[in-house]
Amino acid sequence: MNTQLTKLKNNVIEELKKIAGSANILTEYEDRYCYAYDATAIGEELYLPDVVILPENKYQISEILKIANENSIPIITRGAGTNLVGGCVPLKGGIILHTSKMNKIINIDKNNLQCTAEPGVIVEKLQQEAEKQGLFYPPDPASLKVSTVGGSIAQSSGGPRGFKYGTTKDYVLALEAVLADGTIIKTGGKTIKNVTGYNLNQLITGSEGTLAIITEATLRLIPDPEERQVLLACFDSIDQAVKAVTGIISAKITPSTLDIMDKNTMQTIEKFHKTGLPTDMDAVLVLEVDGFKESVGVQAEQVAGICREFGAENIRTSRNRQEADEIWFARRSAFGAVARLSPNVLTEDAVVPRNKIPDMVRNIRRIADKYNLTVCIMGHIGDGNIHPNFSLDLRNKDEAKRFEKAVEELFDAALSLGGTLSGEHGIGFSKSAFMHKALDKKNLELMKSIKNVFDPKGILNPDKVFERR
Amino acid sequence: MKQLKDYSEEIYKCTKCGFCQAVCPVYRETGLETTVSRGKFTLLHGILTGKVEFSSKIAKYLDMCLGCKACYDFCPSGISAEEIITAARAENNKLNGINLLKRFIIWCFKSNMRLRLLKFTLNIYKKTGLRHIAGKLADKLGKLGEPISIFNLQLKENIEYKKLGPAREKTGLKVVYFPGCIGNYVNSSAKNAVVMVLEKNGIEAQIPENLSCCGISSRSAGDMDTFKMLAEKNISLIPDDIDYLVTDCASCGSAWEFYPELFEGGLNQKAQKLYEKSININKFLDRIDLYIPENIALEKTVTYHDPCHLARFQYVTKEPRRLLQKIPGIDYREMQEADKCCGAAGTFCIVKPGISQAISKNKAQNILDSGADVVCTSCSACKIGISQGLVSLNTKKQVASPVELLARLYIQEENTS
């Protein structure tokens, strides 16, 4: 029962209550039990935080950090807890800072094409508000209906639109963040161009809560494309699909989405939802083109033509919003369908150069066969970011072990093809053990010294990104 | 009846993707992981694997669910939190007992004698002018008077029963109408409207004597014994050789869906048969050749709120809207988030008044933004939730069921001819 009690001293808890208010501090075992996980399947391991705090503003966060730093208490920031690499899991206990109450959009500056938001704002909410002003915030992680601005910056999230529009990192103009010692800093600025000194913005973006805690972000917006059209094209082999993609890009067309799903994924989707995907084809491409009304039709026609040239069958082109939604529904139900196969889903996100995708897919299939695992392959073919979704039951110790081995081989394969460990999910603690394979010693040393400058006591999301000490 | 442990695989299936946060009205107000289905599944998994003790503390986490089923449609793994939490509440009641407040509410609705007494007292309150005195007092009390205002709004009877000349020939259909306890004992307006509308369309609906409360609030509180007792009484009073069992209150409608699983053998068969015959009034009227008078109109701007128990339990969403749009003169406006819970949710509004009010307030704001002057819904509990929201925003709007508006049209026709 001892584990049920918080390790923090009473006076620390009292001080925290004074800062954030008693109602925003959770210390009961049952409350903390519900903050011991994120969206990563970690089996029956339990990493209990000592306290959960729901801060309301940056000043509270600053005061909380001063106490945490003084007492060397680990502090883990959590947005919606949709992290897939265990980033929000409190490995060493400590404080969970849940940003759900800091959820205001501060402004949308239409003339300067930017907006400022608190970290707890939901990404989709930001997109909707921007759209009302005729503007567009492109980053679209699959979790965008729940995931937060703060979390997506900390992870530098991507999404299907990465190929044309880039990822979260390409939209961060300025950040306000709190350092480990409680100092509030501002990085970047309101201008698109900015080479005044080192780019600290980009250093904090994607740092997974290990360097600073983001309390406000100014994000770049772009004009909302007038029209969008979605195409679905089926291929006999993944090689042909990749060739078609290369063909599309060579024809000087830049689709806003270039997604792929393999046969297993299509069969799994069709098992649960009847979306009309062909279950006998090897791969399907989901393509979206956008732009001015006149150009979209032309692009869609050309894309369809090129796909046909490379042997595509059953090409479907959306003629209206509803048909587009239907195609997107099929693509978006992929994760859910895999989730229904077995209790646990583990989504990997190694990334390789685009022309190596057929090799990577072959490798994934070979490794899955070798370790007798069920895998559905989907992902963003335009930027080489492939997501093998492994469906398994972690209670089955043997299966869990086989999965562990498979993942290591998967990373080796990606690295040998010139790719890297993660495209958009991050390292967290799921992949930290493989960092030395992806980066050379000096590189890692540099990163660790940066971490040390920002957070000398190592209280910010400890044991993430770098291997556990 | 399935027990909590029977759901252990279902609970384990939660991949912890957290998508339930997007649609949970309670999470929107609290921002707490413990209030969302992912948190509750984790806690229950902890209980089932022995890591968390099923102590009396668990009840407060289980209370934080409206049972609105919004997360079910959104859950990639297709897990029904509503079912699981109901089972967990039942288990909690066995281990730790039911909360006093809930027990009192269930006790009130459990016996028809008490309900009759309630009706008698309410009649005095309504007819002696006490209601108006209380209403005036409530206005003066401000925030403190809100419960009285909400209560008074529930008693306002819009439709008095009147025998109307039929517009259609007798159909010969054997129809039983189940009005529910609110219709029978608290406010008969919607009940009168259903009877009148059916009569106008050539259907003489039977209402058996002594029907009990449907028991849905005892089910959601996890008091399965009471739920079963009420179910048995209701089932025994209705013959099974009928063509339709009509309900208008969304909660009563879903109660009939839940009845069969409570029993075995003959009673189960009868419950199943009656469940198959059960139909919501909006759906029923959508299927018949509904009489719509010509040369008469109801000049009103109307919006519609989907009761959770109608939209996500009985899948009735289009029919009430179609009914409203058939009424001449009605300017129908769709509100934002029409199918989001109103916040009443059975005993939730009494056990968690703060959160319930905040959810109702959101609903009321959406109603105001729609620009409608009448808000329609087909559930007695939703009427409370909507009134609660409107009172908290200091506005008054007519709250009625679509059938009440249709009845009003018929009455208007009768009065002008």
CATH number at residue A211: 3.30.465.10
Among the candidates A174, A200, A223, a domain finishes at A223
The verdict on residue B167 lying in a domain is no
Which CATH number characterizes residue B381's domain? 3.40.50
In order of A43, B174, B274, the CA distances from B240 in angstroms are: 50, 10, 6
From B23's Cα to the closest Cα of chain A, the distance in A is 9
| Residues A298 and A402 grouped into a single domain | yes
| Cα–Cα distance for residue pair B141/B153, rounded to 1 Å | 16
- Residue to substitute from B10, B28, B33, interface A, most A β-carbons within 10 A: B33
Smallest CA–CA distance from A120 into chain B, residue = B31
| Cβ neighbours of B17 in A, within 8 Å | 39, 82, 143, 335, 339
The verdict on residue B214 lying in a domain is yes
Contact A339 B76 (CB under 8 A): yes
Residues whose CB is less than 8 angstroms from the CB of residue A413 and which lie 6 or more positions away in sequence, other chains included: A350, A360, A363, A364, A367
pLDDT at residue A1 is higher than 60? no
| Cα–Cα distance for residue pair B25/B47, rounded to 1 Å | 25
The verdict on residue A424 lying in a domain is no
- Residue to substitute from B11, B16, B36, B80, interface A, most A β-carbons within 10 A: B16
Contact B76 A101 (CB under 8 A): no
The verdict on residue B69 lying in a domain is yes
Identity of residue B341: C
Task: List, in sequence order, every residue forming a beta bridge with A186; answer none if it has no partner.
Answer: A176
| Residues B397 and B304 grouped into a single domain | yes
Whether the CB-CB separation of A84 and A39 falls below 8 Å is answered with yes
In order of A244, A394, B7, B19, B47, the CA distances from B12 in angstroms are: 41, 11, 9, 16, 12
From B79's Cα to the closest Cα of chain A, the distance in A is 10
Smallest CA–CA distance from A269 into chain B, residue = B76
The vertex-A156 CA angle with A151 and A161, nearest 5°, equals 110
Query: Which residues constitute the domain of residue B249?
Result: 175-286
Task: List, in sequence order, every residue forming a beta bridge with A115; answer none if it has no partner.
Answer: A108, A219
Task: Identify the CA nearest to B233 among candidates B110, B417, B126, B62.
Answer: B110
Contact B33 A34 (CB under 8 A): yes
Q: Mind listing the pLDDT tens digit for each residue in A321-373?
A: 889 988 988 888 888 889 889 999 999 999 999 999 999 999 999 999 999 99
β pairing state of A95-98 and A75-78: parallel
| Residues A163 and A178 grouped into a single domain | yes
Q: Mind listing the pLDDT tens digit for each residue in B166-180?
A: 999 999 899 999 999
| Residues A260 and A404 grouped into a single domain | yes
| Cβ neighbours of A80 in B, within 8 Å | 18, 21
Whether the CB-CB separation of B41 and B19 falls below 8 Å is answered with no
pLDDT at residue A2 is higher than 60? no
Numbers of helices and strands, H then E, in chain B: 23, 7
Q: Does B28 touch chain A (CB under 8 A)?
A: no
Residues whose CB is less than 8 angstroms from the CB of residue B247 and which lie 6 or more positions away in sequence, other chains included: B177, B178, B180, B253, B256, B278, B279, B280, B281
Q: What percent of chain B has pLDDT over 70?
A: 100
- Max Cα–Cα distance, chain A, nearest Å: 72
Only one residue has tokens 């993430």, namely A464
| Residues B113 and B141 grouped into a single domain | yes
| Residues A253 and A374 grouped into a single domain | yes
| Residues B408 and B314 grouped into a single domain | yes
Contact A339 B9 (CB under 8 A): no
Q: What is the pLDDT of residue B133?
A: 82
Q: Name the CA radius of gyration of chain A, rounded.
A: 23
Token pair listed for A22: 């008693």
| Residues A280 and A409 grouped into a single domain | yes
- Residue to substitute from A123, A146, A342, A378, interface B, most B β-carbons within 10 A: A146
| Domains: count for chain B | 4
The verdict on residue B313 lying in a domain is yes
Q: Does B8 touch chain A (CB under 8 A)?
A: no
Whether the CB-CB separation of A134 and A224 falls below 8 Å is answered with yes
A450: left (phi over 0), alpha (psi -120 to 50) or beta: alpha
Smallest CA–CA distance from B54 into chain A, residue = A30
- Residue to substitute from B12, B15, B21, interface A, most A β-carbons within 10 A: B15
Eight-class DSSP state of B183:
I
Q: Mind listing the pLDDT tens digit for each residue in A169-217?
A: 999 999 999 999 999 999 999 999 999 999 999 999 999 999 999 999 9
Whether the CB-CB separation of B76 and A340 falls below 8 Å is answered with yes
| Cα–Cα distance for residue pair A338/B277, rounded to 1 Å | 37
User: Confidence class of residue B140 from pLDDT cuts 50, 70 and 90?
Assistant: confident
Smallest CA–CA distance from A45 into chain B, residue = B51
Whether the CB-CB separation of B155 and B182 falls below 8 Å is answered with no
Contact B52 A29 (CB under 8 A): yes
Counting Cα atoms < 13 Å in the Cβ hemisphere of A417 gives: 26
In order of A58, A73, A463, B116, the CA distances from A64 in angstroms are: 10, 10, 20, 58
| Residues A38 and A138 grouped into a single domain | no
Q: Mind listing the pLDDT tens digit for each residue in A114-144?
A: 999 999 999 999 999 999 999 999 999 999 9
Whether the CB-CB separation of B23 and A92 falls below 8 Å is answered with no
Only one residue has tokens 């939490």, namely B85
pLDDT at residue B156 is higher than 80? no
Higher pLDDT among residues A102 and B77, named by residue = A102
| Cβ neighbours of B13 in A, within 8 Å | 339-340, 343
| Cβ neighbours of B51 in A, within 8 Å | 33, 46
The verdict on residue A457 lying in a domain is no
Query: Which residues constitute the domain of residue A155?
Result: 108-223
Smallest CA–CA distance from A101 into chain B, residue = B31
Contact B52 A344 (CB under 8 A): no
pLDDT (mean) for B219-225: 93
Residue contacts between A and B (CB atoms, under 8 Å): 90
Contact A38 B16 (CB under 8 A): yes
Eight-class DSSP state of A420:
B
| Domains: count for chain A | 3
From B48's Cα to the closest Cα of chain A, the distance in A is 13
Contact A81 B46 (CB under 8 A): no
Token pair listed for B357: 């009010």
Q: What is the pLDDT of residue A210?
A: 98
Among the candidates A190, A223, A256, a domain finishes at A223
Q: Mind listing the pLDDT tens digit for each residue in A230-286?
A: 999 999 999 899 999 999 999 999 999 999 999 999 999 998 888 889 999 999 999
Q: How far is CA B296 from the centre of its chain?
A: 31
User: Confidence class of residue A223 from pLDDT cuts 50, 70 and 90?
Assistant: very high
pLDDT (mean) for A161-176: 96
Contact B31 A38 (CB under 8 A): no
| Cβ neighbours of B18 in A, within 8 Å | 38-39, 80-82, 143, 146
Q: What is the pLDDT of residue B268?
A: 96
The verdict on residue A458 lying in a domain is no
Task: List, in sequence order, every residue forming a beta bridge with A346; answer none if it has no partner.
Answer: A390
A167 phi and psi, to 5 degrees?
Answer: -120, -170
SS3 A67: helix
Token pair listed for A223: 């004009």
Q: Does A143 touch chain B (CB under 8 A)?
A: yes
Q: Mind listing the pLDDT tens digit for each residue in A242-253?
A: 999 999 999 999
Detail the DSSP E strand segments found in B142-189: 175-178
Only one residue has tokens 């049952």, namely A30
Token pair listed for B342: 């109103």
| Residues A214 and A258 grouped into a single domain | no
Any idea how long chain B is? 417
Q: Mind listing the pLDDT tens digit for each residue in A71-82?
A: 999 999 999 999
Q: Does B51 touch chain A (CB under 8 A)?
A: yes
In order of A445, B86, B296, B307, B348, the CA distances from B314 in angstroms are: 61, 18, 32, 10, 21
Smallest CA–CA distance from B78 into chain A, residue = A340
Q: What is the pLDDT of residue A300?
A: 95
pLDDT at residue B151 is higher than 80? no
The verdict on residue A113 lying in a domain is yes
| Residues B273 and B296 grouped into a single domain | no
Residues whose CB is less than 8 angstroms from the CB of residue A123 and which lie 6 or more positions away in sequence, other chains included: A137, A139, A140, A141, A144, A147, A148, A149, A152, A157
From A64's Cα to the closest Cα of chain B, the distance in A is 19
Q: What is this structure's pTM?
A: 0.93
Whether the CB-CB separation of B179 and B245 falls below 8 Å is answered with no
| Cβ neighbours of B19 in A, within 8 Å | 143, 145-146
Report the 10 Å Cβ neighbour count for A59. 14
| Cα–Cα distance for residue pair A215/A61, rounded to 1 Å | 8
pLDDT at residue B286 is higher than 80? yes
- Residue to substitute from B17, B42, B77, interface A, most A β-carbons within 10 A: B17
From A34's Cα to the closest Cα of chain B, the distance in A is 5
Counting Cα atoms < 13 Å in the Cβ hemisphere of B123 gives: 9
pLDDT at residue B266 is higher than 70? yes
Question: Which of B9, B15, B42 has its CB closest to that of A339?
Answer: B15
| Cα–Cα distance for residue pair A424/A160, rounded to 1 Å | 11
Mean pLDDT of chain A: 94
Q: Mind listing the pLDDT tens digit for each residue in A285-319?
A: 999 999 999 999 999 999 999 999 999 988 999 99
Higher pLDDT among residues A273 and A450, named by residue = A450
Q: Does B61 touch chain A (CB under 8 A)?
A: yes
Q: Which B residues 62-91 touch A at CB under 8 Å?
A: 75-78
| Cβ neighbours of B33 in A, within 8 Å | 34-35, 52, 81, 98
Among the candidates B47, B69, B97, a domain finishes at B97
Cα distance from N-terminal residue to C-terminal residue, chain A: 27
Q: Which A residues 372-401 touch B at CB under 8 Å?
A: 395
Q: What is the pLDDT of residue B336?
A: 96
β pairing state of B330-332 and B300-304: parallel
| Residues A215 and A247 grouped into a single domain | no
The verdict on residue A268 lying in a domain is yes
| Cα–Cα distance for residue pair B88/B222, rounded to 1 Å | 8
Task: List, in sequence order, every residue forming a beta bridge with A227; answer none if it has no partner.
Answer: A291
pLDDT (mean) for A83-107: 97
pLDDT at residue B33 is higher than 90? yes
In order of A56, A61, A80, A116, A121, the CA distances from A218 in angstroms are: 19, 19, 20, 4, 12
Smallest CA–CA distance from B10 into chain A, residue = A343
| Residues B386 and B298 grouped into a single domain | yes
The verdict on residue A466 lying in a domain is no
Token pair listed for B305: 């709120």
Q: What is the pLDDT of residue B132?
A: 80
From B223's Cα to the closest Cα of chain A, the distance in A is 24
β pairing state of A374-380 and A385-392: antiparallel
Q: Does A43 touch chain B (CB under 8 A)?
A: no
Among the candidates B286, B304, B321, a domain finishes at B286
Identity of residue A34: C
Residues whose CB is less than 8 angstroms from the CB of residue B53 and which lie 6 or more positions away in sequence, other chains included: B47
| Cβ neighbours of B34 in A, within 8 Å | 26, 30-31, 34
User: Buried (b) or exposed (e) across B25-53, using 16+ Cβ within 10 A?
Assistant: bbbbbbbbbbbbbbbbbbbbbbbbeebbe
User: Confidence class of residue A469 from pLDDT cuts 50, 70 and 90?
Assistant: low
Question: Which of A30, A103, A146 has its CB closest to that of B18?
Answer: A146
Which CATH number characterizes residue A71's domain? 3.30.43.10
Contact A30 B43 (CB under 8 A): yes
SS3 A245: helix
Higher pLDDT among residues B195 and B294, named by residue = B195
Only one residue has tokens 């970011």, namely A385
What string of H, E and C letters represents the secondary structure of B293-327?
Answer: CCCCCCCEEEEECCCHHHHCCCCCCHHHHHHHHHC
Q: Mind listing the pLDDT tens digit for each residue in B349-378?
A: 989 999 999 999 999 999 999 999 999 999
SS3 B151: helix
Q: What is the pLDDT of residue B74?
A: 85
Task: Identify the CA nearest to B404 among candidates B163, B190, B251, B183.
Answer: B190
pLDDT at residue A436 is higher than 90? yes
Whether the CB-CB separation of A451 and A466 falls below 8 Å is answered with yes
Whether the CB-CB separation of A148 and A121 falls below 8 Å is answered with yes
User: Confidence class of residue A3 from pLDDT cuts 50, 70 and 90?
Assistant: low
